[in-house]
């Protein structure tokens, strides 16, 4: 079942198109990774989804309801974590967590609250004005994950968290997923997206330029090969799907488009393979290819 859907969603700021006819689909129990460079339009899309900005054209719905008109209903069932959390300076972290929980209308689940505070090694007794960026982020994350909502909208939620806390965050996402919750996660940490997300949408200049399941996207990527052969390899340059060939002493390193892997391996094997290492394609490779230069071939 689709929980969140945008259809040709567009947002203009004056003449500037920050979000350009994007289509996103987040299904029940799915973690959707929303990635793209600075200024691509991720936060603008998310603000439209939260009903904080009105779409210029197109449509966006959550739980089948209109994000602009039905914001009150929708917000009872979602939790939002921004990348830069502003808090009430004179309340303690604990008070703010409780406040968020009450605003969402649920009863305070003390046990879950304590567990999360422990997991994030957070001291809830201090006034918010004294918290560092990472600690403000923790307030917002604890308040989100303590809530029993159906959809989490997280816009670079781990900015400022140290690696240990980043891991705690990932555990929380995986737990929410196991419980059947859905998550829209915008992130610059590609390893995080790769680990957590079922589906990914890559946005650039307001347009979704690539989207699909992690498996589908992997097909678009390249496998890194390192190979040593008994005889020198010839005629490699004439093959299709080969990139970044480098020779170092006896080793040859190259990248191969996944669809051409079979042909390339067969070709190489004629020269007597002495050593072969392959590294799986990563989301980072794909991402970089889209962002380097004009996003064209390397």
Ligand X SMILES: Nc1ncnc2c1ncn2[C@@H]1O[C@H](COP(=O)(O)OP(=O)(O)OP(=O)(O)O)[C@@H](O)[C@H]1O
Residue 40 partner contact from Mg ion, ligand X, none using kind-dependent CB cut-offs of 5 to 8 Å: ligand X
Residue 194 in tokens? 């790769």
Residue whose C-alpha is closest to residue 124's, from 107, 106, 147, 100? 100
Residues 149-188 that bind Mg ion (CB under 5 A): none
Residue 18 partner contact from ligand X, Mg ion, none using kind-dependent CB cut-offs of 5 to 8 Å: ligand X
CA atoms within 13 A on the CB side of 192: 26
Spatial separation of the C-alpha atoms in residues 277 and 227, rounded to whole Å: 6
Strand positions, DSSP E, 187-230: 199-204, 207-213, 222-229
Assess 202 for contact with ligand X (CB under 6 A). Answer: no
Please, what is the minimum distance in Å from the beta carbon of residue 117 to Mg ion?
A: 27
Residue whose C-alpha is closest to residue 102's, from 118, 113, 117, 115? 113
From the list 33-41, 219-227, 257-265, 282-290, the region that binds ligand X by CB under 6 A is 33-41
Assess 43 for contact with Mg ion (CB under 5 A). Answer: yes
Assess 40 for contact with ligand X (CB under 6 A). Answer: yes
Report how many residues bind Mg ion under the rule CB under 5 A. Answer: 2
Residue of the chain from 20, 22, 32, 42 that contacts ligand X (CB under 6 A): 42
Residue of the chain from 15, 38, 215, 249 that contacts ligand X (CB under 6 A): 38
C-beta separation of 180 from 15 below 8 A: no
Spatial separation of the C-alpha atoms in residues 147 and 126, rounded to whole Å: 22
User: CB neighbours of 122 closer than 8 A, spacing ≥ 6?
Assistant: 93, 116, 135, 138, 139, 142
Residue 189 in tokens? 């940490």
From the list 35-43, 59-67, 174-182, 223-231, the region that binds ligand X by CB under 6 A is 35-43
Assess 13 for contact with ligand X (CB under 6 A). Answer: yes
Residue of the chain from 3, 18, 154, 184 that contacts ligand X (CB under 6 A): 18
Please, what is the minimum distance in Å from the beta carbon of residue 43 to ligand X?
A: 3
Question: For binding to ligand X (CB under 6 A), which residues are involved?
Answer: 13, 16, 18, 36, 38-44
């Amino acid at each position: 079942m689709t929980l969140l859907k945008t259809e040709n969603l567009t947002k203009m700021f004056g003449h500037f198109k920050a979000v350009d006819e994007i289509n996103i689909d987040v299904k029940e129990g799915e973690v959707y990774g929303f990635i793209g460079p600075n200024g691509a339009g991720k936060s603008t899309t998310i603000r439209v989804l939260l009903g904080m900005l009105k779409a210029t054209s197109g449509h966006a719905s959550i739980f089948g309801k209109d994000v602009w008109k039905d914001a009150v209903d929708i917000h009872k069932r979602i939790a939002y974590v921004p990348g830069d959390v502003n808090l009430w300076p004179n309340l303690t972290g604990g008070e703010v967590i409780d406040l968020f929980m009450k605003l969402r209308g649920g009863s305070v689940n003390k046990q879950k609250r304590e567990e999360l505070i422990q997991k994030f090694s957070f001291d809830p007794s201090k006034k918010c004005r004294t918290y560092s960026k990472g600690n403000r982020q923790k307030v917002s994350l604890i308040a989100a994950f303590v809530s029993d909502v159906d959809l989490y909208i997280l816009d670079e939620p781990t900015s400022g968290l140290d690696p240990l806390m980043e891991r705690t965050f990932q555990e929380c996402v995986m737990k929410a997923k196991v419980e059947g919750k859905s998550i829209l996660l915008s992130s610059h940490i590609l390893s995080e997206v790769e680990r957590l997300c079922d589906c990914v949408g890559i946005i650039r200049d307001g347009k979704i330029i690539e989207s699909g399941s992690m498996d589908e996207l992997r097909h678009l990527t390249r496998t890194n090969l390192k190979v040593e052969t008994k005889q020198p390899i010839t005629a490699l340059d004439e093959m299709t799907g080969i990139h970044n060939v480098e020779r170092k002493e006896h080793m040859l390193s190259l990248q191969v488009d996944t669809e051409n892997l079979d042909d390339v391996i067969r070709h190489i094997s004629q020269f007597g393979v002495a050593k072969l290492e392959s590294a799986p394609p990563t989301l980072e490779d794909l991402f970089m290819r889209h962002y380097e230069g004009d996003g064209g071939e390397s």
